[in-house]
Amino acid sequence: MSLNHAILGILSYKPIAGYDIKKVLQDSAFMYWSGNNNQVYKALVELHAGGLVTNKVFHQDGAPSKKVYSITDQGLAELKRWALTAPEAPEFKKAFLVQLAWTWQASPGEMAGLLDQYQQEIEGQLLMAKWKRDNGHFSPDRTPRERAVWRLIHDNIVGSYQHELDWIATVRGAIEPTNGEDASL
Amino acid sequence: MSLNHAILGILSYKPIAGYDIKKVLQDSAFMYWSGNNNQVYKALVELHAGGLVTNKVFHQDGAPSKKVYSITDQGLAELKRWALTAPEAPEFKKAFLVQLAWTWQASPGEMAGLLDQYQQEIEGQLLMAKWKRDNGHFSPDRTPRERAVWRLIHDNIVGSYQHELDWIATVRGAIEPTNGEDASL
DNA sequence: GGTGTCATGTAAACAGTTACATGATTTT
DNA sequence: AAAATCATGTAACTGTTTACATGACACC
């Protein structure tokens, strides 16, 4: 589970509260955890127990108190150690491919409709990914290299959606009936 | 949970036993479930309870008995219904991107090493994906369209890894130090 | 007056992985 | 002699999502 390490990374940039970590995760295009309460607060308790973070409670009037977490030297060391561990292969969970694999009972029109829907879905995701790349408000910018790396990471995600759109186009080309049988138009 | 539907799809091609469904899942490039006992046998019990599949026990000597499952008309109808439901966006779990995001403590050499390792990992996956596309022994081939669709699905996966390799190359180009400071060679 | 934000946390449900168990047969 | 394959199943654990709970304040 590298969620704990992702949180360490976030805290390495600046100390923030659990509630805000949650939002950073939810807004991130590449930190793929949903960022729900259960996961985040549990992770923070674990990190705290391991001495990788500390927290300080800030009382505010007109709003609930917040626990602001900071990374420790031990946490920084652990973050560096993890950052250099052997990379894992990416996991692609494309439910649409599974669906498409079993459309032999569908008509050409139904298949075309499915592809249209998938394309719309992807176009939406692509737009969001681009927006997050260009306007995401959480991006540490400690060195020129870090800035470049974050840009490249977002390009990877954008490119993944772009690849999906390109692929949809080839699918349309490949499965369109050679003899014209279109309903609408 | 669409694992149940994926299993329905497999059974729509031909009746097979749970043990073999497990292997089909493990060998599949795009049906992303690990195919462990717990998941498969539990899914089959559910499908059976819902009347979507039936089973027949075959006793064999020199080997354990097997329960061969078949899809029912109800199961076929459910498979078609599901195949035409609104497609979901793909999920990309690229742990490497998270790792890369927090490498600001690493030296240029360490980063280059990481990239090398990731590339090797991806090259391995790409090879496997291509092999499964070209030699995978489970591919229903009921109609020319189904054959084409299965090929396209595998092309999607292969393309995803290919995209990753292309991206690695651009990362290398973007972050290589402008002034030459290389250790080895 | 209902909905949303801020901020923490818990409970329950679902999904997924790893490991255990059996017992004959085949392979290394 | 040890390990893997065939074939089913269960147990224990980890990971993830959804929902519940509180209470002040702001917005429409």
Question: pLDDT digit string (tens) for B120-164?
Answer: 999 999 999 999 999 988 999 999 999 999 999 999 999 999 999
First to last CA, chain A: 51
Is residue A5 helix, strand or coil?
helix
B157, closest residue in chain A (CA to CA): A92
Tokens of A56: 């300080």
- Chain A residues close to B9, C-beta within 8 Å: 98, 101-102
Cα separation, B44 vs A45, in Å, equals 39
CA→C1' distance for A165 and C19 (Å): 42
- Distance (Å, whole) CA B96 – CA A30: 10
pLDDT of residue B64: 85
Nearest CA-CA partner of B106 in A109, A114, A9: A9
Residue-by-residue DSSP string for A47-69: HHHTTSEEEEEE--TTS--EEEE
B171 vs A contacts (CB less than 8 Å): 149, 152
Question: Tens digit of pLDDT for each residue in B19-77?
Answer: 999 999 999 999 999 999 999 999 999 999 999 999 999 998 888 899 999 999 999 99
Please state, in angstroms and rounded to a whole number, the distance separating the CA atoms of residues B12 and A52: 52
The model's pLDDT over A86-104, given as tens digits with 9 standing for 90+, comes to 999 999 999 999 999 999 9
Residue A68, phi then psi, degrees to nearest 5: -95, 120
Query: One-letter amino acid identity for A87?
Result: P
Q: Which residues of B touch A145 (CB under 8 A)?
A: 104, 175
If one counts every other C-beta atom within 10 angstroms of the C-beta of residue A115, the result is 18
| A20 CB less than 7 Å from any atom of strand C | yes
Residue among B96, B149, B175 minimizing CB distance to A103: B149
Could you tell me the end-to-end alpha-carbon distance of chain B, in angstroms, rounded to an integer? 52
Tokens at B95, concatenated: 């742990």
In angstroms, the CA B135 to CA A26 distance is 40
* Distance, CA of A75 to C1' of C21, in Å: 42
Residue B107 contacts by C-beta under 8 Å, 6 or more apart in sequence?
Answer: none
pTM value is 0.93
In Å, how far is B18's CA from the nearest CA of chain A?
19
The strand pair at A16-17 and B16-17 is best described as: unpaired
Model confidence at B4, pLDDT cuts 50, 70, 90, reads very high
